[in-house]
Structure 1
Amino acid sequence: MQDAHPRSGRSAKVVAAAVVVGLIGSGALVWQASSAAFTASTDNANNSWTSGSVTLTDNDFGGANFNETNLKPGDTGTKCILVTYNGSVASSVTLYSNTPTGTLGQYLDLDVSVGSGSTCASPGTQTQIFGDVNTVPDNSSDTLDNFAAAHTDWGTGAGTWTPSTAGTAKPYTFTYTLGGGDAAQGLSATGVQFTWEAQSS
């Protein structure tokens, strides 16, 4: 069936021209929209986090510093133990112990000092952190039992060493003297563990 109103050649040309103009116009709008804003960016790449550590070792090789038997009044002994800090952050180190098993601890005068040097062979200047200048147990402040009662954890620990560099070492010197006379016969103080603890500051 033929169109009852066939388009003239002129009207067809007008329609075609309108389509072309429309396409050109929409393209211009897209170009204008895409070119209407400047852009820029910056970034901060490769962020990361690691935690530090606190680590202590000593040179006791798993053994006790003291294993004394058949002591008599006036017997004395001195031992040094070297404690080394291998952490990566600044810390505070204190010394404490548990309560001895047995009752001889009340008759053992105890002195503990920290050296300014870095080895037991060359401890440097000694700073006393527990005890007094004499070797007579006074049974109120300077015995093994007194140490255990006064220094029970990091917060109440003796001494304040503040290492910040791995490999820093301190010599701790322990000196005991047995007193008590006849009252100290046949007694013992066993199971004593001296503990150094570091907490980051």
Structure 2
Amino acid sequence: MDAKVDPSPASEEPRTTRIQAINRGAILEAALEVFSTHGFRGSTIDQIAQRAGMSKPNLLYYFKRKQDIYAAVLEATLDAWLAPLEMLDPDGDPIEELRRYITRKIELSVERPEASRLFAGEMLSGAPAIGDFLKTRLRSLVQDKAGVIRVWVTQGRLAPIDPFHLLFAIWATTQTYADFDVQIRAILGSEVGRPGFREQSAQAVLTIVLNGIRPREAG
């Protein structure tokens, strides 16, 4: 018999058990692999359920539609990407704060390239699944952190830069190694696979960005 959701008062949200959290996580991990391989249109709930190691009825207990799974995968990706931005400390050293943020963004691109590519595909399609998320939570957070960067610039702790375009540049440079991996491999060949390549790439990005935002000495 399929599991049923216990009725709860309208004012209370149903509690998520540990098993439910584990199952939901397994579904999202499986869905990321399926969507990144086959795209949204080419993926099916049956494929996701099989990859997650559960029955289709069990999966449908957590997500009613393929669209809901797809949106949840994208939002989970954004949650992971936004976490290091949320940690940007207004009272910290600007260069070190941005160094930590850029480093973590590069790590996420290396660790989860399929997530970055799936997100890029959603953006190229006009963000039909997560457009509201972008215009609400993402916009609010970026405006807040842009304000922090603007204060650092005003204080002379960073070079005069537009904070929004700085963040856009960081996103582009940190995600290119995932989104355009084929292009990079076509140019650099076997160098991409050698030990230390990712670390060298990260250091190059850090040098380019951080040298561009360091305060200029008068004279």
Fold match (TM-score > 0.5): no
TM-score (norm 2): 0.22
TM-score (norm 1): 0.24
Higher relative contact order, chain-length normalized (CA < 8 Å, sep 6+): 1
The structure with the greater share of residues assigned to helix is 2
The structure with the greater share of residues assigned to strand is 1
